[in-house]
Each structure stands twice: as C-alpha cells, then as structure tokens.
Structure 1
C-alpha cells in the first residue's frame, strides 16, 4: 500500500521529532565517513530548534505519512543574502528522509515544497552542500536529478 505523504511547515511543537531525525541524520553521516564530526545532544538540539522556529530564523518542512501518522523526513531552510546571488536566497542545511521511505519520492516532495516557499520569499535560488566523498555520490545524484548543479568550491568552517 502506497503511503500518503503530506508536507507541513513545522512549529515549535514539532521540535522534538525533528530533533530526533537530526540525530538520525548526523549519526548516518558519521557512520558513512567514519568521522565523529558532530556533537549531538537531543535535549539541546530540541531547545535550539524550538527557539529558531519561534524566532522564525529557521524554516522547517516536515514530511508526514498521513496514513501511519508518523514523521518520515524533514528539510530545513535559512535565508541568506549575497551579491553573487543577486539578493536573497535559501540554503538547505539539512534534508533527511528515514531509510524505509527513501526512493518513495519524499525527498522530491520536500524539495518542491522548499522551492514553493522560496518563491514566496522572492529568493533567487536554493543552495545545498553535500560532502565531496564517494559515500555521498547517491546524495549528489539526487540533488542533480532535482535540478541542482555543482557550483564548485568546498564548504569550509572554523570555530569562533
């Protein structure tokens, strides 16, 4: 039986389940890379996400299986500004679909909902970063099928 997926904008009450899926995402990345790259604390992440949502600094789209009544994925969005992007644009910091629903078009639905949201904000584009590692070739392929193209560069970070 095919599931019925609904995409909703998250509210503060969704913070616990989205934070749980963030933990699943980060653990999956660390297992794939063999690198303990993230510090994850469910309680801290839930509180941080709740604050971000309440302050409207972070936009979260939640994929729900309406038939089962469960959350099956999410996509987060941040608004950014850059001269190279000709103004406002959206960044996708996280996108995650629970493994049992992958290849069921949930990711496509989340990307489409992000595009729709971006149009309402008059964004010029959406950007996403995926690691340049063989373990993430499938992820890169997904984004390319969804119309994203490699823009070059590498994501770098430094602690403040």
Structure 2
C-alpha cells in the first residue's frame, strides 16, 4: 500500500470529522455525535490560517488518518511554535508507519514555518501507553501534565 499525504482544506471537512469522531469515541469510550463537529471543521479548515490538518490516504483515496497542528506563540518559546491538537490513525492501519509519516509532515511544516518547538498533549499514559511511547520514540520529551478548564 502506497501512502500519500496532503494538507486538508474545507472540502475535506466531513473526512476530517469522521476521523475526529472516531478519535473521540475511542478516547471517551462512548459514541460521539458527528453533526456538532462539522461546522467547526469547515470554519477551521477555511478561515483559520493557524490551524493545519494533514491527511494520510491511499492512491484510491481511502483515508487512513490525520494530524492537526496549531500555530501558537509565547515569550517562553521566543515566538511561534506548533501544538499538535489531534493525531488519529484508523486501528487497522496502526503500527505500519502512518502515524510516523503524519508526524514527519508536521515536523517538515514546522521547519518551513521556522518553529523551533512542537508540543503535544498526550492522553493518560496508564490507559494510552502506546500513544505516549510513540511520541517518546519520535523524540518528544515529557514536560508535565496538561490541564484544562471548561468554561
């Protein structure tokens, strides 16, 4: 199987949302409703130049996974840097380098943008140890937990 990669645009909203729903369903252990995410996907993919999605697919346009990255900035990083927001590969395509290929696309994108740093909030390592191990193998280092406040 030949894997291809490309940047998604607003025409890919439903493809991306299908994968986001699969990701969230897997993380939460409960089915997630798709419709709520379609408008957000269309808006982010068409209007937000800081948010970029890379798709992995076959030559017959079977989608295998995606990764999204957001450009952020701070004084502590001396300017702009990237934050990986989502990474998902369909279970049947895991462990065949699809995730590594998607991450490689983001690393090259970061170099092109002049970023010197990428960050990612990984899921709980007790339950999602393979995900954390993947990032560690790819050169990331643990810097502490990420916390959130829902408003």
Give 1:48's aligned residue.
40
Partner of 2:130: 138
Tell me if 1:65 matches 2:45: no
Deviation track 1:55-75 (CA, whole Å, cap 9, x = no partner) reads: 124100000012x42111000
Which consecutive residues of structure 2, in runs of 5 or more, have no partner in the other structure? Answer: none
Distance 1:15 1:132 in 2: 28
Q: Report the equivalent of 2:147.
A: 156
Structure 2 matches for 1:54-133, cutoff 5 A?
54-55=46-47, 56-66=49-59, 68-133=60-125
Instruction: Output the aligned Cα RMSD.
Output: 1.5
Distance 2:95 2:72 in 1: 30
> When the two structures are aligned, how many residues end up with a matched partner?
150
Q: TM-score if structure 1 supplies the norm length?
A: 0.88
Question: Which residue of structure 2 lines up, in the alignment, with residue 23 of structure 1?
Answer: 21
1:83-114 deviation digits (Å, cap 9, x = unpaired): 22221100001000000000010000000000
* Structure 1 moving runs of 4+ over 6 Å: none
CA displacement, residues 106-130 of structure 1 (integer Å, 9 cap, x when unaligned): 0000000001111111111110011
